[in-house]
Structure 1
Amino acid sequence: MTLLGTTEPSQRVDADIIEIRGGHPLKGQVDVRGAKNLATKAMVASLLGETPSILRDVPDIRDVEVVRSLLEVHGVHVTPGEEPGSLVLDPAGAKSATFDEIDAHAGSSRIPILFCGPLLHLLGQAFIPDLGGCRIGDRPIDFHLDALRKFGAIVDKQPSGIRLSAPEGLHGATIELPYPSVGATEQVLLTAVKAKGVTELRNAAIEPEIMDLIGVLQKMGAIISYEPNRVIFIEGVEELRGYDHRSLFDRNEAVSWACAALVTDGEIFVKGARQYELLTFLNVFRKVGGDFDITDEGITFRRGEKPLKPVMVETDVHPGFMTDWQQPLIVALTQAEGTSVVHETVYENRLGFTKALVQMGADIVVHPHGIADPKRRVPRRELEQAAVINGPTPLHGADIVVPDLRGGYAYVIAALAATGTSRVTGIRLLSRGYERFLDKLRALGADFDVVG
């Protein structure tokens, strides 16, 4: 894989096994570009425009390649822009694609579900193959399908997938999500902007990437407003044009490198990171014992002079502590002096990665049904779990297998902090969300070899 619009080579992208020799602090600079959770959705939004769109600061990651191939199989012409890291997306030749074509290009990605609204407007039909994704629990698409039905779509479940049609077009709807799902909110936005009439969405997700997608759609000619208490109104319009947009920085990657500095007792300048979108994380980082300096160009993260301190964290939808942030933080908490508790309330199986950390010497106990605590602020959910981490515990090298994107990153930084050598298998999965990951590790002083 090369950077979009360049021919600069990177570390082997077919690498799937690395051996890490721990004990080396990570120091230096990493650049973060556009968030994968915005860039991929903005690429889908290009289907709604009558003219080409330009997306800037697109990360060179596997998920972007998947969306690009899905757009191309639907007839969208995708080319590198003049600026490195930019894409031009021209939907003039958009067409239908078969189940088999979509399935072949989607792989384990769940992004095809978000093509439905734009394709129903453009072609009157859409197809969804069986959907995959990270093994972190169920991600039902019922929220999506229920919303599409309310817009007037006909949903036909078939052995090979789901066929949707809208013979009479789509109309505005009143929708209240049972949970502020990011994906379902994106679905409603991408569908409502060209539906006839007004759509009212209640209990919507309000993550920064959602706000950035609203900005993209407004540039295209959409009329979208939002009110307190997670209410969004969308007035449908007949036509939209292409956009020119620079992606919001990737908050998840920025947090990952911040935790790497904390875990390895290093110092990393994350160029492109911004304070506003990271307020919640920065508070927790400081409570744990991390330190940071903020400039207009980015944020420098390091461990403070005193020992790390235990914390209680509850994952939640924005503006809460993101579920994608807890895995690398838990690695750092294994080195805190005392007992930390992490309540996972978003996904039902996202603490399974801790088994490998225990194998490496961590003292972590997972409570599969969560823990009641009078100090908690996030309402309990049936699917929640909790991890109790006692520290500090020395970590030692081990043979570990990457389970999912964020858990896999946590394993890597655990191996970097451990004594001895760790063999990490499945490293290729990290290319889904981390641009030039091995190159960045090498530049920060990590000691590892690609062995398979």
Structure 2
Amino acid sequence: MTGLSQGIAAGPGVHEVTVEGGVPLSGEVRVPGFKHALVTVVAAAVLARAPVTIDNCPDIEEARVLAALLGVLGGRVERRDRSMTLDLADLADKPLDPALVGRIHGALYLIPGLLARFGQVHMPAAGGCPIGDEPGGGRPVGQYVGVLERFGATATAGPDGSLTLRADRLTACDLDLRDFTADRTLRSGPLYSGATKTAVLAAAAAHGTSRLRCPYPKADVTELVRVLQELGYDAAYDPHGDLLIEGRPDGGHGRPVRHALVSDLITVVTWATAAALTGGTVRLTGLTLDRLPAGLAPETAVGRAMGLRWAVDGPDALLLLPDPPRRSVDVAVVSHGIFSDSGPFLTLAATLAPGTSFIRETVWQRRFAFAPQLNRLGTEIRVTGSQARITGGRPPRIPGQDLVAGDLRAAAALLLASLAVPGPVRLRGVEHLARGYEDLTGELRRSGARIHSTD
């Protein structure tokens, strides 16, 4: 292993920063590939018997940990510039390191490929952001088990959150993914995305042709389907939106594949919010403008409704303009629409708009757990059940506060909020940023933000 997987034991280094806000941002930022698509494309490479090169690969915690896990299993993983090449033809059936698996959530998507190769997998308890409904914010794993059982696997859950799965072979099935939603009509909930990704991977490894009805439709799944097609799998959507996949237990056509990830959609939302909060102008580059507009269509609609402005500025760039939100919104975050990851940023932007905004969360019920911390900066956000009521015209403005972030997007939202405060704010929990951003604090500094490590 080289590049990406080296130094994995070091982990995130910065836990606390002090922000001196009140400075408009100005600069150019390159946006890497989409975190959520990365984990599924890596999982697809486990199915393959040929090298897979991922271009536009983000240098984030998920990538480093997945590379290390696969390296331990005998895979050859190489990082050069912004690409990662995985040659996993000679993977061996070895134990997965619980310490590594416990650092990310995405390790769970390795299960279908490993199960197809070895007939058994023991997956230690996975980590990730504590935004689930389980005690302590634990995230559910039953959807992965439920899907794989439909393909013929048997599973046992350990008291420590680990999973042991066995299957002599995976067999194609007809699966309605609405069975894994909290609301079949709304088609939303915390299980839907993970169930769909697992089903797509299992169907590719199974014997026979599977029909996946009403699959989760977002970019992390469409990127996975695209990569499977490039690997030689017959995978296509029918006119009803169902996904038909003919399994290839042989691992595809066996020829090397190179795939450029779609740009990270949530990074774009993050910087759009930062520009609006600080009254700055930021140019985003390296964008996959062939796929980005479709992936961000729901967020784009909300941004337009608020009055935010941006412009295409070249073949791979957007110019984020310094206009603050001018109108309130009433929106629902749903699995087939606005990303749950975008919710904290929309909430933050709504504090600048006149009037009262309402944002309803239907995926992760703990997504608004950061609101009390944000209110310490002077915002007025009232959370009732799964809905946030945001009083406009009350942006972050009270300095001298000590804040604590409990998850990735909370850390990013609180960091951006601190940029709007005319004075010092101390923020702990910034280590969570490593799971979704290459170097958010560094990029903000280079764009004019005054951020100092206090570790």
Same fold flag (TM > 0.5): yes
Q: 1:124 aligns with which of 119, 123, 137?
A: 119
Residues of 2 paired with 1:299 and 1:24: CA distance? Answer: 21
Is it true that 1:166 corresponds to 2:167 in the alignment?
A: yes
Is it true that 1:263 corresponds to 2:277 in the alignment?
A: yes
Number of the residue aligned with 2:154: 154
Q: Counterparts in 2 of 1:269-284, with a 5 A limit?
A: 269-273=283-287, 274=289, 275-284=293-302
Give the SS at the match of 1:352: helix
Give, in angstroms, the shift of residue 4 of structure 1: 5.3
Number of the residue aligned with 1:378: none
Deviations 1:250-303 (A, max 9, x none): 001111101110111111111134333322222211221211111422211123
The alignment covers a number of residue pairs equal to: 424
Question: Which shifted more, 442-451 or 180-189?
Answer: 180-189
- Distance 1:287-1:157 versus aligned 2 partners, 3 A rule: closer
Number of the residue aligned with 1:21: 20
Residues of 2 paired with 1:79 and 1:364: CA distance? Answer: 46
Give the SS at the match of 2:33: coil
Residues of 2 paired with 1:300 and 1:3: CA distance? Answer: 32
Give the SS at the match of 1:419: coil
CA contact (8 A) 1:45 1:118 kept: yes
Deviations 1:159-195 (A, max 9, x none): 452211112x111011112226221111111111121
Number of the residue aligned with 2:330: 312
Q: Counterparts in 2 of 1:218-297, with a 5 A limit?
A: 218-239=229-250, 240=252, 241=254, 242-273=256-287, 274=289, 275-295=293-313, 296-297=315-316
Q: 1:186 aligns with which of 177, 197, 200?
A: 197
Is it true that 1:343 corresponds to 2:360 in the alignment?
A: yes
Q: 1:212 aligns with which of 213, 216, 223?
A: 223
Number of the residue aligned with 1:406: 409
Is it true that 1:38 corresponds to 2:55 in the alignment?
A: no
Residues of 1 paired with 2:322 and 2:360: CA distance? Answer: 24
Give, in angstroms, the shift of residue 307 of structure 1: 6.2
In structure 2, what residue type is equivalent to 1:23?
G
Number of the residue aligned with 1:303: 322
CA contact (8 A) 1:364 1:389 kept: yes
Give the SS at the match of 1:290: coil
Give, in angstroms, the shift of residue 401 of structure 1: 0.9
Number of the residue aligned with 2:376: 359
Number of the residue aligned with 2:136: none
Give the SS at the match of 1:94: coil
Q: 1:331 aligns with which of 348, 353, 374?
A: 348
Residues of 1 paired with 2:267 and 2:215: CA distance? Answer: 24
CA contact (8 A) 1:4 1:86 kept: no
Is it true that 1:95 corresponds to 2:92 in the alignment?
A: yes
Give, in angstroms, the shift of residue 228 of structure 1: 4.5
Residues of 1 paired with 2:50 and 2:332: CA distance? Answer: 43
Q: 1:109 aligns with which of 93, 104, 107?
A: 104
Number of the residue aligned with 1:143: 143
In structure 1, what residue type is equivalent to 2:348?
V
Number of the residue aligned with 2:394: 393
Is it true that 1:432 corresponds to 2:431 in the alignment?
A: no
- Distance 1:268-1:95 versus aligned 2 partners, 3 A rule: same
In structure 2, what residue type is equivalent to 1:432?
R
Question: Which shifted more, 326-335 or 130-139?
Answer: 130-139
Give the SS at the match of 2:205: coil
- Distance 1:389-1:416 versus aligned 2 partners, 3 A rule: same
TM-score, scaled relative to structure 1: 0.89
Number of the residue aligned with 1:379: none
Give, in angstroms, the shift of residue 349 of structure 1: 1.3
Number of the residue aligned with 2:339: 322
Residues of 1 paired with 2:302 and 2:60: CA distance? Answer: 28
